[in-house]
Amino acid sequence: MTTLFRKQKVIGGMAAAPTSAWLRYCIRLASRLFNAFRLASSPLHARNVRRSRRVLRALRSFTEPGVVGRCFSYLRQVDPLVFEEVVLSALEDAGAFVLRNRRYTGDGGVDGVVWMATHGWIAVQVKRYSGHVNLQHVLKFAQAVRHGKFGGGLLVHTGRSGRVHVLQCMAVELDC
């Protein structure tokens, strides 16, 4: 592969950055197409994915000072199912291959699965909290990650997690 890249660089004059951007684009396109076919029978899912893309555009347009606080405030007002799709869409935009669940379960389990070349399949759990993170939800997700034999887990939330929560996670041997 190194030889191929060197030849491409010499012949095409391309640097490493466009190649990685091209690869991210291809993975994102493949992920979107795969999920579009997989979720074709669920109009609610498709609508939420479209809404998530609008939310991402809105978040990316925030530029003024205090943007982080404004983003959290905005995300706490978004529908929980749309927030789930926002996270998966953002991961997809970053170049990860995303497998969205075929239906919304509401059981607190894995909301989606993401392929990362460095870790393999990563379970994704999304929680939209207005207050503090519930430690029981974290423990349940950690159990689902272990049971599903994933390469890791990604818990994304809008809540507050203080030092006490991190210490509690460490007490039960979680990587927080």
Taking only the tens place, the pLDDT of each residue in 79-100 is 999 999 999 999 999 889 999 9
Residue 42, pLDDT above cutoff 70: yes
The residue extents of the domains of the chain are 2-171
The predicted structure's pLDDT at residue 33:
93
Report the DSSP pairing between strands 120-127 and 152-157: parallel
The mean pLDDT of 63-90, rounded to a whole number, is 90
Span of 23-37, 74-88, 108-122, 160-174 with lowest mean pLDDT = 160-174
Split at pLDDT 50, 70, 90, the class of 3 is very low
- Structure confidence at residue 100 (pLDDT): 92
Strand order, beta sheet including 120-127: 97-100, 112-116, 120-127, 152-157
Token pair belonging to 128: 């939209």
Q: What is the dihedral of CA 80, 47, 111, 77, to 10 degrees?
A: -20
Query: How large is the average pLDDT for residues 168-176?
Result: 58
Q: For the whole model, what pTM was predicted?
A: 0.80
